[in-house]
Amino acid sequence: MMASLELYPEFVTYFSPRAHQLPRKNERIKKTNNVLDDYVIVDDGGFHADEVNLIMRGDSFDLARSNIRDNIYFVNALILKDPKKNEWDHYKSERKLYIAEFPITYVSAGKDVLEYIKNNVPILYVERFENMNGNLVRTDPIDLRNKVKEYCTDREDSHVIKLYHKSGCTTLRPGSGLIAALAIAKLTEQLNVYGWDFYMDLSPVFLKHFQALKLFYNEKIKHNRDRFFEMSIIHWLYASRLRELNHVNINGHLNDVDTHSNLIKKINRVFYAT
């Protein structure tokens, strides 16, 4: 796949596992000047904010040591119980909900939301639909959807955003952080993202071309290895494109992906019709 991305980006999808395949030729969408056109919000759930500080779990940022105390939205805020462990080697180790003395809204696009509900905290849940031949199909388990709906119904501090990607590709694996960033960027006047590293322990600005390419096969990653290459492509693409927006600031290693402009151009060819 790495060779295909380097030489024939349009063919990368045919080397991906079927369950995590990137868009095929007939599924690629037209690229517009605004990356937010790639996603369509079906229902904003009444959510809108003047400013959002979106926190991800990257090591480049420490919320407790920062001076950020307002408008905090924490993605996948189940952190490792043992602070000496790292995400790469201990992803499935025991976790706990990050609790602070300042207000936090807890964000997820997956089953982590159930732990938020148990702790009776404000939530922002992003439900992703699949675009199957023009028909929108809900993919979340019905029991999870019902619990989230019931929880949010009478709470002014909790919302559900429903959206879908315009591509007909039903095997995209963007993850909660990216989905949240794209959804919130459409519904806020200012979005600041912190700790968006996507498992990098240094900025790609310090790497040569082929060193950066090797990040897509990060040997430290023990979980999601069957889809990590595809997820890397998705994150690099949308980090690069979100940086184009005047109301979005990215703080984290992914903020520097555009230093590898040739690689970004090739990734664009994976997703967009030419």
Average pLDDT of the chain to the nearest whole number: 93
Residue 143: C-alpha distances to residues 107, 111, 114 (Å):
18, 11, 11
Residue in this structure with the two tokens 């189940």, named with its chain if needed: 78
Q: Which two tokens stand for residue 129?
A: 């639909």
User: Rounded CA gap, 113 and 136, in Å?
Assistant: 22
With beta carbons less than 8 A apart as the criterion, state whether 262 and 209 touch.
yes
Mind listing the pLDDT tens digit for each residue in 80-100? 999 888 777 777 889 999 999
Mind listing the pLDDT tens digit for each residue in 96-143? 999 999 999 999 999 999 999 999 999 999 999 998 888 899 989 999
Please work out, in degrees rounded to the nearest 5, the angle formed at the alpha carbon of residue 195 by the alpha carbons of 192 and 196.
Answer: 85
Residue in this structure with the two tokens 């999808």, named with its chain if needed: 13
Range of the domain at 266: 2-271
The total number of structural domains that make up the chain: 1
What secondary structure letter does DSSP report for 65?
G
- Cβ count within 10 A of residue 6: 15
User: Rounded CA gap, 149 and 42, in Å?
Assistant: 15
Return the HEC string of 188-250: EEEEEEECCCCCCCCCHHHCCHHHHHHHHHCCCCCCCCCCHHHHHHHHHHHHHHHCCCCCEEE
Mind listing the pLDDT tens digit for each residue in 150-197? 999 989 999 999 999 999 899 998 999 999 999 999 999 999 999 999
The four Cα atoms 239, 169, 225, 90 give a dihedral, to 10 degrees, of 60
Grade residue 1 by pLDDT with cuts at 50, 70 and 90.
Answer: low
Helix %, strand %, coil % of the chain (to 5)? 35, 20, 40
Encode burial over 200-230: b for 16+ CB neighbours within 10 A, e otherwise.
Answer: beebbeebeeeebbebbebeebeeeeebbbb
